[in-house]
Structures are given as structure tokens and as C-alpha cells.
């Protein structure tokens, strides 16, 4: 090693020097080849100390420096900066931790002296093998990915767009708007939901900053705040979106029908369909799982019916790769599968409905165009709404979703509006009516209903065509019963969590960074969460949280700001790598890819965080952990074992 090495001993104002034989230590250091200068200072981290160090480095034109002092944890940066200022590569520094891990932990002066010597010699031997490294920084990407296009997703996207950011809004369904777009009215204002949300939908769909990707799913995510690489799978709609007018000629002619989940299964849809009347964007998709043509049969009825020749059976799925700086997860929630609560007999006794079904019966864009009728077509005369169906129940949902009660009040009003003479009963434990408008809204509503209080136990049974409800040792019969379950995370939350490497809470909602201080950040820097994906909440809270996430990310992702990336990364020597692939699965940051051309592995230095695990596992020594190379570690081993 032909470096000019300088060794600087920090007395740490006698905290160190009192506890060992300084001269002995320094004498040893002086004997080592390559050490051209050895000096002590009372306190190297002090302003004078720094000045001293800088001058010494210049004066003795050192190109590698050992600082024997406190822990590198405290002052490695400090001294690296000094090297840099004096024109020496900052990585030409090696600190010998002779304070915390030597004199302070070793009462015996002689032992401390010997150990300090070993550490200093190891540092000298190591620094002789150091290489100059260049710190790298990348410009952070200000663009945003929003996953889920319910009210929360749309609100977030809108905010980013307002700030002029490019937004990718990804929705797995054919249409945007989530649940809200499918209900008639919202509490407490009883405002028309479609009227309320449609403008938001249209705005987003037409926003030049926002690329709406419906019928699409996330395939792969890599990276960190400021630099995420995301692969998005665009499922084939089998429709030419430019040519399609949304005239609706195609679906009536489709010979296939299945229950439509967007109507809670109350009505059927065809293989080619739009989820519900007025869904946006107004473009049908072909469900290839049930389409005859994709079952190998020769059917082209929809294509024949299309005036614009917009049906494209040959359309293929496409994976697009986008780079964004931040991500918002707004995948929403859904209602608990109430059929799991056996004693309520949902799906077994005709006339028992769940919230969504009721909403759709009420909705004028629903299957009955707003008429509340039973399967036989008659309007129900006597209706019961059962609150907390499955909620606050250890066997089902232990928690209270906090929005069902008020929503039920809304249903009461909708029902009374549709069937004024209907007899309406509410079965509840106690009402949860949060918010400044909640109580008033409930009080006003309850005048319209006959309420039964019950204590926990409730079940239903079939009694000749009617539904009997048994509670509090009393029974009563109804034409229609509405069960209102609580809110759970959307079914694919788990998959999303894995893709984005996020933590979930006990109930499967995305875990917030802090349950009080920061509910809009996920467990991963740069990924925000909004809406029911984080916890059950109403529209108002969802919107607020969405706006919050936007604020956080906009603050973090300032265009032009540089993000420093790890310097001590691992690199794979192309000449040496044999392509055994043993390293690839080891990287916690998926930073290693296999180059099919060259048949070797490559490290993406932007993603690499420098843990060196792959280097430790590389059987041909091709993977080299910068600043922690074998050679450098062995240099230390050699001295500390002397």
C-alpha cells in the first residue's frame, strides 16, 4: 500500500488519554509502513480540532486518515466532511473506536492500551485498502401513483393534479367512483350521491395531469420515496376505448348472463357489460371468464351489434412501467359478508337483504330503478333493519365501524320516501351517531320508525313466507329484513400489502405509521394511505384523509430536490459473475436483476442499500460490497487477531 497515511489520536479532553498509555499506542502506530504522520489532539471534534486536522492533512499531503477517537456513530460524518473539504475523498477515513468500545468499557489501563493499539493498527491496515467512492444523488420524481378510485382516491388525485403533478390513478374495476357512485343519497344532507360525485369523476377523467387506468392491477413495485418503479397490468377490456361511444347496443344482445356484484347480486349482467347504469367511464368490458367466444365458441353478437366496430376480441393485456416518487393506497373497504352470521340466515330465507342490496334497490340507477320491491315484485309492507349485524362481536367484527347507524337512518328515510305506509322497525343495541349533525339527523329520522331495543342475541327464521325475528324473548314477523354489517378491508388488501411491502393491522386494514399522529402514512416511507383502506370511515373523513396524504407527499416530493442514494453499495463484477443466480432472491430491496443477454446478475445501485448480504453469499466473489470488501475486512482481522 503506497498511500500516505496519517493517524490522529483524539485525547477527548483526557477522557481517552487518562485511560491508556497514549505514548505506547502512538509509538506502535509510528512503526507501520505507510504511516507518514502521527499526531494527538485534545479534542478533534472541536472547532480547533477540526481546523487542526484539516491543516495537518494538507501539510503532510495525506491521502488516507485514521482517526482514533470516539465511535464512528458520533463523528464519522464530521471527519469525512473535513477530508472532503481538504480535497481528500471522504471514504479515505477509518475511525478506530477507542472510546466507547475500548477505554470506556475496559477499566484496566494496560488492557485498554493493548486493545486500542489493536484497533488503531487494524484501522491503519484497513484504510490502506480503502478506495475513493463518489456519493451519488438522484433527482426525486414528483409524479404520483394512486391505487383505488373511490372518493378518497379521486380526492387525492385531484389534489396532486392541482399542484401540477402527474398522477396515475389505477382502478381494478372497469369504472371509477367506488361505492359512493352506486348509492342514491348520502347522510346527513340526503344529497344525491351521483350528483355529488359525478363532477369529481368527470373532472378526473378529463384531467390532463391524471392518467386513469381502469380495469388495471399493480403487478410489481420496487424502490423508495422519490423513486418507485411500478409495473401496472392493463387487463384487456376487448373494447377500443377511442371508438366506443358507450351507446349500450352491445350488451343486450349478449347471450350470457351472471349475477352482477355491483347490484349486490340482485340483478344479472351480460358477459359484455358496464357495472351499472351511469358508471364512468361509460365503456363496457368483456368478462372473458364467461364470454362464449373466449370459451372457444363462435359468437360475435356484441361485435355485430356495435355500430363503431369497437369490440376487439384480439385485444391483449399490456404491462406498463411507470416511475413515481410517491404512492397513495386508497383501495377502500367493503361490507362484511353477513352470510357468515349463521343465525341471521342471509341468503337462506328470501326477503333478507344486506346494505348494498338495499342501497341498490333504492338507487334510481339500480336494477329496479329505485322501486323497493321483493323478488315477487310486491312492495314490502313491514320492514326491519338490523344494526350491528356481525359487528362488535368477538366471533365476527370485534369493532364498531362507526358509520352504519347513520347510514341506516338514511335508509329509513329512503324507505319511508319510497313506501310511505311501510311499517319500519330498527333492531339495535345502541346508536353510534358521531359528528355535529349525527344526533339531530337520527332524532329526526327516528320519528319515522318504530324502534325495538334488544340486548345482543338476535336471530331470524322462516315462518310461512315471512321472516320472523327473535330478540329479547319476543318474536315479530316481517316482509323484508335489512341486515347492515360493518366495514372490512377490501378483499385484495393482502395482495396489495405484499406487493408494496406494507404492514396490515389485526383486522387487515393498512397499518398507519402512528394511530394518532400520522394515520395517513403507511409503514413505508413514501407510501400514504387514505379512506377505508386504513379504517372504516365516512365520506367526509375519507376526503379529509385523502387531502392529508396529498399534503404530506407534496411536502416530501419537491421537484428538483435531490435524494442522496447509498454510496456503500454492492456491485457485481461482470467479468466474474457466472450467473449462478444465488444472490437474486437474497436482496431485501429486489435490487438484483438477471441480465438474460449477458447471463449475469446486476445490482440496481439506486435500489441497493448496501447491506452486503449478496456479497457474503456470492460463491465466485463477483459481488463486491463497497467499503466493506473482503480485503478490507481481512485487513482488520489480521490486526485484531495479532
Partner 1 sequence: MSKPKVAFYWNASCGGCEEAVVDLAEDILTVVEAVDIAFWPVALDFKRSDVEAMADGEIAVSFINGAIRTSEQAEMVTMLRRKSQLVVAFGSCAHIGGIPGLANVSDKAGIFDRVYKTESTDNPSGTFPQTKTDIAEGTLTLPEFCDTVNTLDQVIDVDYYLPGCAPPPDLIMGAVAAILEGKLPPKGTVLSPNKSLCSECSRQESKPDKIPIEKLARVTEISPSTDKCFLEQGLICMGPATRTGCGERCINANMPCRGCFGPTDEVLDQGAAFIGALASNFDADTPEAADAITEKLIDPIGIFYMYGLPSSILKRVQRKKEGGE
Partner 2 sequence: MSDFEPKIVAFLCNYCSYEGADRAGSARMESPANVRVIRTMCSGRIEPEMVLESFSKGADGVMILGCHPGDCHFKEGNYKTLRRYSLLVKTLDEFGIEPDRIALDWVSASEAKKYTEITAAMTERVRKLGPFVLDSGSCKGETK
Q: Is 109 in the site for partner 2 (CB under 8 A)?
A: no
User: Exposed/middle/buried for 515, CB within 10 Å: 0-12, 13-18, 19+?
Assistant: exposed
Q: What angle do CA 544, 548, 554 make, to 5 degrees?
A: 145
Q: In angstroms, rounded to a whole number, what is the distance separating the alpha carbons of residues 96 and 627?
A: 15
488 binds, options partner 1, partner 2, none, Cβ within 5 to 8 A by partner type:
none
Report if residue 415 touches partner 1, rule: CB under 8 A.
no
Pick the closer one to partner 1 by CB: 407 or 570.
570
Q: Choose, by CB under 8 A, the member of 13, 24, 87, 105 that binds partner 2.
A: 105
H helices of 447-574, where? 493-500, 539-556
Strand partners of residue 144:
167, 326
| 8-state DSSP, 567 | S
Shortest distance, position 498 Cβ to partner 2, whole Å: 14
Residue 634 engages partner 2 in binding (rule: CB under 8 A): yes
The widest CA-to-CA distance across the chain, in whole angstroms, is: 104
Give the number of C-alpha atoms closer than 13 A to the C-alpha of residue 573, restricted to the C-beta side: 13
Q: Kind of pairing, strands 144-147 and 167-170?
A: parallel
* Among positions 586, 594, 604, 605, the unique one binding partner 2 when judged by CB under 8 A: 586
Residue 112 binding: pick among partner 2, partner 1, none (C-beta 5-8 Å cut-off by kind): partner 2
Tell me if 14 contacts partner 2 by CB under 8 A: no
Q: Does 580 bind partner 1 (CB under 8 A)?
A: yes
Residue 633 binds which of partner 2, partner 1, none (CB < 5-8 A, kind-dependent):
partner 2
| For partner 1, the closer CB: 562 or 576 | 576
The grid coordinates listed for 150 are: 373511490
Q: How many residues bind partner 1, per CB under 8 A?
A: 24
Nearest distance from C-beta of residue 103 to partner 2, angstroms: 8
Of partner 1, partner 2, none, which one does residue 105 interact with (CB within 5 to 8 Å by kind)? partner 2
- Cell numbers found for residue 247: 351507446
Instruction: Measure the CA–CA gap between 527 and 500, rounded to whole angstroms.
Output: 8
Residues 120-149 as x/- pattern, contact with partner 2 by CB under 8 A = --x---------------------------
Rounded to a whole number of angstroms, the minimum distance from the CB of residue 57 to partner 2 is 23
**Both ends of the chain: CA-CA distance in Å?**
20
Closest to 336 in 3D by CA, of 384, 372, 387, 373: 387
Q: CB nearer to partner 2: give 308 or 637.
A: 637
φ, ψ dihedrals at 78, nearest 5°? -50, -50
Is 267:248 a contact under the CB 8 Å cutoff? no
Contact present, 68 and 8 (Cβ < 8 Å): yes
Q: Which of 35, 62, 66, 112 binds partner 2 (CB under 8 A)?
A: 112
* Integer Cα distance of 378 and 376 in angstroms: 6
Q: Which is nearer to partner 1, 422 or 635 (CB)?
A: 635
Segment near partner 2 (CB under 8 A); pick from 305-313, 375-383, 416-424, 583-591: 583-591
Q: 189 - beta bridge partners?
A: none
Nearer to partner 2, 491 or 580 (CB): 580
Contacts of 511 (CB under 8 A, 6+ apart): 502, 503, 504, 505, 522, 523
637 contributes a contact to partner 1 by CB under 8 A: no
From partner 2, partner 1, none, interface partner of 588 (C-beta below 5 to 8 A by class): partner 2
Shortest distance (Å) from residue 627 CB to partner 1:
17
Residue from 87, 164, 347, 621 touching partner 1 (CB under 8 A): that is 621
Among 585, 595, 638, 640, binds partner 1 (CB under 8 A): 585
Of these partners, partner 2, partner 1, none, which one is at the site of residue 313 (CB under 5 to 8 Å by kind)?
Answer: none
Instruction: Give the per-residue contact string, 538-577, with partner 1 (x = CB under 8 A; - = no).
Output: -------------------------------------xxx
Contact 442, 406 (CB under 8 A): yes
Give the cell for residue 442.
Answer: 337520527
Q: Is the omega angle on the peptide bond into residue 102 within 30 degrees of 0, that is, cis?
A: no
List the interface residues with partner 1, window 323-352 (CB under 8 A).
none
C-alpha distances in angstroms, 16 versus 27, 113, 118, 276?
17, 10, 15, 77
| Cell digits of residue 318 | 399490456
Examine residue 638 and tell whether it contacts partner 1 (CB under 8 A): no
Which CB, 502 or 519, lies closer to partner 2? 502
Least distance in angstroms from the C-beta of 503 to partner 2: 12
458 burial (CB, 10 Å; 0-12 / 13-18 / 19+) is buried
Positive or negative torsion for Cα 550, 556, 560, 563: negative
Length in residues, the chain: 642
- Rank residues 112 and 409 by Cβ distance to partner 2 and give the closer one: 112
Is 144 in contact with 567 (CB distance < 8 Å)? Answer: no
Among 44, 118, 327, 482, binds partner 2 (CB under 8 A): 118
Specify the residue, 138 or 617, whose C-beta has the smaller distance to partner 1.
617
Q: Which of residues 67-96 bind partner 2 (CB under 8 A)?
A: 71-73
Q: CA 216 to CA 195: how far, in whole Å?
A: 26
Question: Is 630 one of the binding residues for partner 1 (CB under 8 A)?
Answer: yes
3-state SS track over 194-205: HHHHHHHHHHHH
How many residues line the site for partner 2 (CB under 8 A)? 43
Angle between helices 438-446 and 404-418 (to 10 degrees): 40
Candidates 52, 79, 119, 478; binder of partner 2 (CB under 8 A) is 119
Pick one of partner 2, partner 1, none as the site partner of residue 115 (Cβ within 5 to 8 A by kind). partner 2
Residue 527 binds partner 2 (CB under 8 A): no
Residue 577: contacted member of partner 1, partner 2, none (CB under 5 to 8 Å, by partner type) = partner 1
Strand 144-147 and strand 136-139: the pairing is unpaired
Q: Kindly report the backbone phi and psi dihedral angles of residue 170, in degrees, each rounded to the nearest multiple of 5, phi listed first.
A: -105, 125
Q: Is 513 in the site for partner 2 (CB under 8 A)?
A: no
374 counts as binding partner 1 under rule CB under 8 A: no
DSSP 99: I
Taking the complex as a whole, the smallest distance from the CB of residue 615 to partner 1 amounts, in Å, to 9
What's the CA gap between 346 and 339, in Å, rounded? 5
- Cβ proximity to partner 1: between 245 and 617 the closer is 617
Nearest to 318 by CA among 247, 403, 217: 217
Choice from 567, 594, 609, 627 touching partner 1 (CB under 8 A) = 594
Span from 6-14, 115-123, 201-209, 277-285 in contact with partner 2 (CB under 8 A)? 115-123
Contact 611, 627 (CB under 8 A): no
Which is nearer to partner 2, 55 or 638 (by Cβ)?
638
Site residues (CB under 8 A) for partner 1? Answer: 575-586, 594, 599-600, 613, 616-622, 630
Site residues (CB under 8 A) for partner 2? Answer: 71-73, 97, 99-102, 104-108, 111-112, 114-115, 118-119, 122, 568, 586, 588-589, 609-613, 615-617, 625, 628, 630, 633-634, 636-638, 640-642
Amino acid at each position: 500500500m503506497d498511500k500516505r497515511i496519517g493517524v490522529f489520536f483524539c485525547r477527548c479532553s483526557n477522557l481517552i488519554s487518562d485511560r491508556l498509555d497514549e505514548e505506547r499506542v502512538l509509538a506502535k502506530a509510528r512503526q507501520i509502513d505507510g504511516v507518514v504522520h502521527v499526531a494527538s489532539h485534545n479534542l478533534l471534534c472541536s472547532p480547533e480540532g477540526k481546523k487542526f486536522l484539516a491543516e495537518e492533512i494538507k501539510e503532510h499531503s495525506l491521502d488516507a486518515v485514521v482517526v482514533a477517537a470516539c465511535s464512528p456513530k458520533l463523528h464519522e460524518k464530521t471527519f469525512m466532511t473535513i477530508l472532503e473539504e481538504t480535497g481528500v475523498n471522504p471514504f479515505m477515513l477509518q475511525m478506530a473506536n477507542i472510546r466507547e468500545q475500548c477505554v470506556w468499557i475496559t477499566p484496566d489501563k494496560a488492557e485498554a492500551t493493548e486493545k486500542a493499539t489493536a484497533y488503531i493498527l487494524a484501522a491503519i491496515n484497513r484504510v490502506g485498502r480503502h478506495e475513493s467512492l463518489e456519493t451519488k444523488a438522484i433527482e426525486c420524481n414528483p409524479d404520483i401513483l394512486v391505487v383505488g378510485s373511490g372518493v378518497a382516491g379521486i380526492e387525492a388525485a385531484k389534489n396532486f393534479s392541482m399542484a401540477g403533478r402527474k398522477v396515475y390513478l389505477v382502478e381494478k374495476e372497469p369504472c371509477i367512483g367506488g361505492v359512493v357512485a352506486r348509492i342514491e343519497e348520502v347522510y346527513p344532507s340526503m344529497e344525491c350521491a351521483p350528483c355529488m360525485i359525478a363532477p369529481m369523476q368527470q373532472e378526473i377523467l378529463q384531467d390532463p395531469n391524471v392518467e386513469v387506468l381502469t380495469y388495471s392491477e399493480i403487478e410489481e413495485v420496487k424502490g423508495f420515496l422519490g423513486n418507485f418503479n411500478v409495473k401496472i397490468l392493463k387487463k384487456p377490456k376487448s373494447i377500443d376505448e377511442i371508438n366506443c361511444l358507450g351507446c349500450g347496443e352491445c350488451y343486450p344482445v349478449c347471450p350470457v348472463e351472471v349475477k352482477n356484484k355491483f347490484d349486490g347480486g340482485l340483478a344479472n349482467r351480460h358477459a359484455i357489460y358496464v357495472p351499472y347504469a351511469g358508471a364512468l367511464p361509460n365503456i363496457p368490458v368483456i368478462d372473458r371468464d364467461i364470454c362464449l367466444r373466449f370459451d372457444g365458441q363462435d359468437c360475435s353478437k356484441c361485435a355485430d351489434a356495435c355500430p363503431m366496430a369497437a369490440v376487439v376480441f384480439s385485444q391483449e393485456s399490456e404491462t406498463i412501467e411507470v416511475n413515481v416518487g410517491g404512492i397513495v393506497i386508497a383501495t377502500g373497504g367493503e361490507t362484511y359478508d353477513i352470510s357468515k352470521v349463521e343465525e341471521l340466515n342471509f341468503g337462506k330465507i328470501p326477503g333478507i337483504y344486506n346494505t348494498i342490496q338495499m342501497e341498490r334497490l333504492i338507487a334510481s340507477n339500480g336494477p329496479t330503478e329505485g322501486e323497493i320491491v321483493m323478488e315477487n315484485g310486491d312492495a314490502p309492507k313491514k320492514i326491519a333493519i338490523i344494526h350491528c349485524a356481525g359487528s362488535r362481536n368477538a366471533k365476527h367484527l370485534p369493532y364498531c365501524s362507526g358509520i352504519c347507524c347513520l347510514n341506516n337512518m338514511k335508509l329509513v328515510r329512503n324507505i319511508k320516501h319510497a313506501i310511505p305506509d311501510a311499517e319500519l322497525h330498527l333492531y339495535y343495541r345502541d346508536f353510534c351517531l358521531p359528528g355535529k349533525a349525527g344526533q339531530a339527523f337520527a332524532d329526526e329520522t327516528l320519528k319515522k320508525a318504530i324502534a325495538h331495543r334488544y340486548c345482543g342475541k338476535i336471530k331470524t327464521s322462516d315462518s310461512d313466507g315471512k321472516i320472523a325475528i327473535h330478540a329479547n324473548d319476543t318474536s315479530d314477523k316481517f316482509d323484508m329484513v335489512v341486515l347492515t354489517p360493518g366495514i372490512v378491508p377490501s378483499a385484495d388488501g393482502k395482495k396489495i400489502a405484499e406487493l408494496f411491502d406494507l404492514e396490515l393491522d389485526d383486522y387487515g386494514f393498512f397499518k398507519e405509521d402512528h394511530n394518532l399522529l400520522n394515520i395517513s402514512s403507511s409503514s413505508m416511507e413514501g407510501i400514504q394511505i387514505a379512506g377505508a383502506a386504513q379504517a372504516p370511515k365516512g365520506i367526509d373523513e375519507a376526503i379529509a384523509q385523502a387531502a392529508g396524504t396529498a399534503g404530506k407527499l407534496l411536502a416530501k416530493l419537491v421537484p428538483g430536490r435531490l435524494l442522496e442514494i447509498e454510496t456503500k453499495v454492492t456491485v457485481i463484477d461482470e467479468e466474474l459473475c457466472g450467473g449462478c443466480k444465488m444472490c437474486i432472491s437474497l436482496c431485501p430491496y429486489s435490487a438484483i436483476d438477471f441480465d438474460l443477454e449477458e447471463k449475469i446478475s446486476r445490482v440496481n445501485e439506486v435500489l441497493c442499500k448496501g447491506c452486503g448480504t449478496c456479497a457474503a453469499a456470492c460463491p465466485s466473489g463477483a459481488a463486491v460490497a463497497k467499503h466493506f470488501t473482503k480485503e478490507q475486512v481481512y485487513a482488520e482481522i489480521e490486526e485484531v487477531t495479532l
